[in-house]
A and B are shown apart, each in its own frame.
Chain A
């Protein structure tokens, strides 16, 4: 009927026509693509050992806990892998931190060759913490000429990880890959297949995830990782506020007006022209939001949760995830891969660190809400993963699930007794392995792996305070403590400083902005002295807290080794770098209890937190390392790994090797 019928009939006709045309075209092109693939596959240098390799990454999946649960008759699917294939520890990188370990996984090289040594990379000239894997910035250029010229600024996002992920090397051999949410793949690099970026994808505010809490009164908690927005009471039924979005310029950001209305038991949240019903204590579905920044429309998705305390409402909003259906930043390759996934399965979390650990740490959400969020993200990923498995019948599928890492970070202290979050998580991961096994054929190889294990984190060590106490770091007169970014540090007297989760740097002349230590013997002697003293560091009860100190020159080889911290500190189980000193703070105590909800960790001596390796194939488990996965997978697919890779083959001795 008129336009409506016109749209309906014309679009339907076009849809059917296109569907038929695409099918015919695909059928016609199929022999051509088959020939091209056949020619490319002939480039393989050795016999292919599996038609398809599936790498199931379970971040932080501990071989220790898994082993215990298997021994007590739980985790049947992992047990079956142990019986007929492989189950062993997987050595992680030094330090055993996700960005470092996953970078080594994908490139097959040690950190000295991929240049990722921590979450944070110290800016040595300004003594500031920067993100180690991605650089986002703006370039300004002047277009036109004379009085007709104007300034044009253009944003850029650059991946700082060096070397090449092994799936980009497969293209030459006609092997397709589907890579889902592997950390340090943002922005995505081209490959033959599709990729959805993982850890380090920012939110729309440009952060690694900042949630928002709306309430009438400012909460007492320090909101690291989140922001507070005032909820103004208009009357007994109506509150208003503003949801801040992406930054427009230095001072302002785009906002969406917010209205919270109660009418009887019904509570409605209006965000711009979107209206959703909220139920107290229940996380809403994803809500699509559109921010208007100048002429641009920037789309985001977020979830909301209402809590009411003494009649005062408070609304929690997750970080503003990039809308996968209209991504404002490149989060997938090809660009429409995220649209494909969002189209088929609905909106999904795109933020690198999607589970809101900060919100739970700060008490902005309850444990139940955090768990709901974590498991719904897991379910979203599961759908994508099984879609990839069903559509990639040969080649490579890699998918990383982060739920295991986040739940262990937040619930380690509850142990692994039945019905605890950790126990349930290990059972569910085992179910995932089982479902995966049922999807595999006899020519397929499954690799279940984790980047590191887990242990407790009950005590913080402030390395900067320790350096201060031992005379290596000097504060300006009158300064007792430093919150962040070394504000108040006297660099003219400072010989060493600590930034990141495990690094100590010498304040080296010519390298640091205000360096005073001469490179060479003086620096070497200083490092030896610090290392020796650190190993003697102990608690008031006399317990040693440092397991090992690794000089960078001993553990890293490659062109980027010089970017590494001079010393990497391996703490004992339960001890980790304090929250403040990670970003350049100097606290009042060297050793103090960790009171946060984040009570499990893996940023200890990497030898204490190995990852897990399990497979349906027999692999050489002796000294298996995360660096070995890339060359091994390449070999299984019939390709000789490049010589620059540091990993060894786990497929045993063969002539081809």
Chain B
């Protein structure tokens, strides 16, 4: 229950932040969140790390690098400095462990939200999507399986995998409608939960675990029935973003730009990283 509340609150916060970007191409919203994340993470890093120690250690590491340069003709000395450098680096990782642990939870939550919003295509009309659902115990008889939906067209055949308690079938999206799926009474949304850019795109449903939905908001909460499946997943296509002539995944965009913004923030606010 508590996880659902936190998840809903987080979704609301992200929806609000992304409000100005709803009509813009999704990359703008993603870049803006990367900026906020970069600056936010660097602020947390500053607050939770021992800046003095990190600064001193980084200078020492640079000193060791210069030691290698100064004595490059003496392999023994160079190897000595290389060993010290690796030792200092291990110490550096220990120094940043605390801020990393503090940052871990909020970062995973944001990660999930962004993956849900920018990771998958909201439903391509030109391609079929395979839907796989899993039943709690055993798969009902073929004739007892009912699949229907709103905004989707179910494409036969329905394939049953008894050993895994799974049933698979394909669907095609209709245009401009929030699509829903009903399998033996278990109802869930498929694809986008809103008609704006940056809305959460559901790639599955799971009735059992609300903690999973907190960190993986692309998993929707279904309306369960005894006869219906308990979970399912949809094979939506991953989205690629065109930046600087390349096709970037949302993750690449996020990691690169949040890092760039974090470095810029560190430079501006004099944070030792």
Chain A residues in the interface with B (C-beta under 8 A) = 1-8, 11-12, 15-16, 18-20, 22-23, 25-27, 29-30, 33, 37, 194, 273, 325, 334, 336-337, 339-344, 346, 391
Contact = CB atoms under 8 A, between A and B. Distances in A.
Contact of B100 (A4, A23, A27): A4
B100 to A, nearest CB: 5
A15 B89 contact: yes
Contacts of B68: 19, 22, 26
Residue of A23, A194, A346 most packed against chain B (CB within 10 A): A23
B23 interface: no
Given A1-B104, A2-B107, A18 B65 contact: yes
B64 A344 contact: yes
B63 A343 contact: yes
A343 B38 contact: no
A2 B74 contact: no
Contacts of B41: 1-4
Contacts of A337: 66, 70
Interface stretch (B75-83, B151-159, B220-228): B75-83
Contact of B72 (A15, A26, A336): A26
Contact of B63 (A3, A23, A37, A342): A342
Nearest to A30: B75
A18 B85 CA distance: 10
A170 to B, nearest CB: 15
A5 B100 contact: yes
A22 B258 contact: no
B89 A342 contact: no
A397 to B, nearest CB: 14
Interface in B254-273: 255, 258-259, 262-263, 270, 273
A8 B100 contact: yes
B93 interface: yes
B99 interface: yes
Interface string B184-221: 00000000000000000000000000000000000000
Contact of B270 (A7, A273, A336): A273
B259 A16 contact: no
B93 A344 contact: no
Contacts of A11: 89, 92
B53 interface: no
Interface residues of B, number: 49
A4 B45 contact: yes
A6 B255 contact: yes
B60 interface: yes
26 contacts: A1-B41, A2-B107, A2-B258, A3-B37, A3-B41, A4-B41, A4-B262, A7-B96, A11-B89, A15-B85, A18-B65, A23-B75, A25-B72, A26-B74, A26-B79, A27-B79, A30-B73, A325-B59, A336-B69, A336-B70, A343-B59, A343-B61, A343-B63, A343-B64, A344-B64, A344-B67
Given A2-B258, A8-B100, A12-B93, A29 B63 contact: no
B269 to A, nearest CB: 10
Contact of B59 (A2, A19, A342): A342
A16 B56 contact: no
Contacts of A27: 75, 78-79
A344 B100 contact: no
A210 B72 CA distance: 39
Contacts of B72: 22, 25-26, 29
Residue of A19, A30, A344 most packed against chain B (CB within 10 A): A19
A30 B74 CA distance: 7
A29 B69 CA distance: 13
A339 B62 contact: yes
